[in-house]
């Protein structure tokens, strides 16, 4: 007999409600990770993110075994197979209870309801735990509807938040018996050279993750509000890979933040908390508006928009060959490291969906495929915000000019030169939009679109809807 816990986006043993509760019966506990390459491919999960998770799981596995908690791997071929595979393992272990922290994506919810039916039929209970800081069903407007605008959502969130919401579950209890054999973490090859290099950048293991968070709070949070928009500075937390895979919990972050700092508007801590709330907000949106998880625009009317089909322009955007230095440097950062600064994510996403008028869904998928922090809710939210099709999105006529953004946020071209070293010799005042001669001299391509004309083309397309 053993309770069964299934890992989702919660690769941690601290503050893991489902795991902790699964350990309380003391009837033995088995944890299982689902190795599902077909699902990862279908969801465009980056091989880098998967390898990162498997590296972290290696450490987690050791900790679990020390607590007499078993570690198993379920092999599945697509998410549709998961309910039956989970059930089969539960039967093999003679589990009376299965425990899962909910993921809110459409497919994951469908999987859990399928599993619930199957388990119920076998007399096994499925115990699902909410994975938001405040249950998304409890955050409502004055008229009882769900929010579609961030600022009032965040105000209500702050008002509702109690110390109980920030209760941190202890580590799971050490089990008296462990009567099943542990599985090894499966081999997973990163075939691409860029991925092989970038995986080295990301440390795993709970101690490292907490150290990173602590040093951000100590050294950087006070300047966060003023410095966070400058991509050449290391001024944001870079915790997104850990938050996405659940190696660090957002609830734990808020609890620590609010125990060390006052939540005063205008401060670094206030701004940083707002970003954690944006993350919660996008999870809230996919929960209440599942259409966004099904490849649709949040704003339904924009499903009619006719996007340009231009594989050459799209490829140039992907490879950072647009002829706009800030965009090309940003895409190089993504391709080489698996991460991109937030300001640049907005700039490149707007450029693709507005100036190139290419469907934001292609950009969304490309990001997922490269990002180590690829998170369905935040990525979809960020893309739809930039493309003006989303919840509380940028209005369609607000189109960032990438050259002006470059002059403003990378004034001296430090970020550009870091990722495009061939532009090293170009002076700062020319780096944002090099002259024809400088382009030829430095073997740098012309811009793939005229910014003024393409802006007008986007305005026409959006305003015609």
Residue 278 among the catalytic residues: yes
* Interatomic CA distance for residues 291 and 219, integer angstroms: 40
- Considering only CA atoms, which of 119, 132, 44, 48 is closest in space to residue 82? 119
Q: How far is the CB of 344 from ligand FAD (least distance, A)?
A: 8
Give the binding range for ligand FAD (CB under 6 A) out of 100-108, 135-143, 317-325, 371-379. 371-379
Q: What would the DSSP string read from start to end of 392-458?
A: TPPPTT----HHHHHHHHSTT-HHHHHH-GGGTTS-HHHHTS--HHHHHHTT-PPPSS-HHHHHHHH
When asked if residue 134 is in the footprint of ligand FAD (CB under 6 A), the reply is: no
When asked if residue 33 is in the footprint of ligand FAD (CB under 6 A), the reply is: no
When asked if residue 354 is in the footprint of ligand FAD (CB under 6 A), the reply is: no
- Between the CA of residue 98 and those of 22, 224, 346, what are the distances in Å? 8, 41, 40
* Interatomic CA distance for residues 124 and 26, integer angstroms: 17
Tell me whether residue 370 is exposed, middle or buried, using C-beta atoms within 10 angstroms of its C-beta: 0 to 12, 13 to 18, 19 or more.
Answer: buried
**Nearer Cβ to ligand FAD, position 5 or 367?**
367
Among 112, 375, 392, 410, interactor with ligand FAD by CB under 6 A? 375
Among 48, 87, 239, 292, interactor with ligand FAD by CB under 6 A? 239
Q: What's the length of the chain? A: 465
Dihedral Cα 400, 404, 407, 408, nearest 10 deg:
-60
**Nearer Cβ to ligand FAD, position 81 or 229?**
229
Q: How far is the CB of 224 from ligand FAD (least distance, A)?
A: 7
When asked if residue 349 is in the footprint of ligand FAD (CB under 6 A), the reply is: yes
Residue 272 among the catalytic residues: no
Instruction: Provide the token pair at 98.
Output: 């299965």
When asked if residue 276 is in the footprint of ligand FAD (CB under 6 A), the reply is: yes
Catalytic residue among 21, 68, 182, 342: 342
- The percent helix, strand, coil of the chain (3-state, each to 5) is 55, 5, 40
Give the binding range for ligand FAD (CB under 6 A) out of 21-29, 108-116, 307-315, 368-376. 368-376
When asked if residue 285 is in the footprint of ligand FAD (CB under 6 A), the reply is: no
Q: How far is the CB of 345 from ligand FAD (least distance, A)?
A: 4
When asked if residue 236 is in the footprint of ligand FAD (CB under 6 A), the reply is: yes
When asked if residue 244 is in the footprint of ligand FAD (CB under 6 A), the reply is: yes
Query: What are phi and psi for residue 452, nearest 5 degrees?
Result: -70, -50
Q: How far is the CB of 310 from ligand FAD (least distance, A)?
A: 20
Site string for ligand FAD, 202-231 (x = CB under 6 A): --------------------------x---
Bridge partners (DSSP) listed for residue 128: 100
**Nearer Cβ to ligand FAD, position 378 or 454?**
378
Residue partners of 24: CB distance under 8 A and separation at least 6: 173
**Nearer Cβ to ligand FAD, position 47 or 374?**
374
Count of residues near ligand FAD by CB under 6 A: 28
H-state helical runs in 138-205:
150-160, 193-199
Residue 383 among the catalytic residues: yes
Catalytic residue among 16, 383, 385, 433: 383
When asked if residue 379 is in the footprint of ligand FAD (CB under 6 A), the reply is: yes
Residue 342 among the catalytic residues: yes
- State the DSSP code for 379: H
The alpha carbons of the chain give a radius of gyration, in whole angstroms, of 23
When asked if residue 43 is in the footprint of ligand FAD (CB under 6 A), the reply is: no
Q: How far is the CB of 50 from ligand FAD (least distance, A)?
A: 14
CB of 247 closer than 8 Å to CB of 206: yes
Contacts 24+ apart (CB under 8 A), 421-426: 423/325
Binding site for ligand FAD (CB under 6 A): 228, 236-240, 243-244, 275-276, 278-279, 282, 342, 345-346, 349, 367, 371, 373-375, 378-379, 381-383, 386
Catalytically active residues, by annotation: 275, 278, 307, 342, 360, 383
């Amino acid at each position: 007999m053993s309770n069964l816990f299934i890992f989702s986006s919660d690769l941690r043993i601290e503050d893991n409600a489902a795991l902790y509760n699964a350990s309380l019966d003391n009837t033995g506990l088995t944890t299982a990770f689902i190795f599902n390459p077909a699902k990862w491919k279908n969801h465009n999960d980056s091989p880098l993110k998967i390898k990162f998770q498997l590296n972290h799981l290696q450490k987690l596995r050791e900790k679990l075994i020390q607590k007499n908690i078993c570690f198993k791997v379920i092999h599945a071929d697509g998410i549709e197979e998961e309910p039956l595979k989970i059930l089969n393992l539960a039967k093999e272990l003679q589990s009376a209870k299965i425990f899962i922290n909910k993921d809110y994506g459409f497919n994951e919810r469908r999987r859990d309801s399928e599993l619930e039916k199957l388990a119920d039929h076998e007399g096994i209970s499925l115990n699902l735990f909410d994975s938001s800081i405040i249950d998304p069903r409890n955050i409502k407007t004055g008229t009882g509807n769900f929010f579609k605008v961030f600022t009032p959502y965040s105000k209500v969130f702050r008002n509702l938040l109690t110390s109980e919401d920030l209760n941190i579950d202890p580590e799971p209890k050490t089990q008296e018996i462990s009567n099943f054999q542990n599985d090894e973490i499966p081999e997973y090859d990163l075939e691409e050279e860029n991925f092989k290099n970038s995986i080295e950048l990301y440390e795993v293991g709970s101690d490292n993750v907490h150290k990173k968070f602590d040093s951000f709070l100590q050294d950087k949070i006070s300047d966060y509000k003023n410095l966070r928009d400058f991509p050449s500075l290391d001024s944001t937390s870079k915790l997104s890979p850990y938050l996405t895979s659940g190696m660090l919990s957002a609830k734990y972050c808020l609890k620590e933040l609010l125990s060390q700092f006052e939540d005063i508007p205008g401060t670094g801590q206030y701004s940083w908390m707002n970003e954690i709330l944006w993350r919660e907000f996008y999870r809230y949106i996919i929960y209440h508006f599942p259409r966004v998880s099904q490849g649709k625009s949040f704003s339904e009317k924009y499903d009619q928009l006719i996007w340009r089909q231009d594989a050459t322009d799209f490829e140039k955007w992907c490879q950072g060959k647009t002829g706009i230095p800030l965009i090309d440097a940003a895409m190089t950062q993504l391709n080489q490291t698996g991460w991109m600064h937030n300001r640049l994510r907005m700039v490149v996403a707007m450029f693709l969906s507005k100036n190139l008028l290419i469907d934001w869904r292609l950009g969304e998928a490309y990001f997922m495929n490269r990002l180590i922090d690829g998170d369905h809710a935040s990525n979809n939210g960020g893309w739809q915000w930039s493309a003006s099709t989303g919840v509380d999105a940028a209005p369609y006529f607000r189109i960032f000019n990438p050259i002006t953004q470059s002059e403003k946020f990378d004034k001296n071209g430090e970020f550009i030169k870091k990722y495009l070293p061939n532009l090293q010799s170009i002076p700062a005042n020319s780096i944002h939009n090099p002259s024809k001669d400088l382009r030829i001299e430095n073997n740098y391509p012309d811009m793939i679109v005229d910014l003024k004309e393409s802006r007008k083309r986007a305005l026409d397309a959006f305003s015609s809807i």
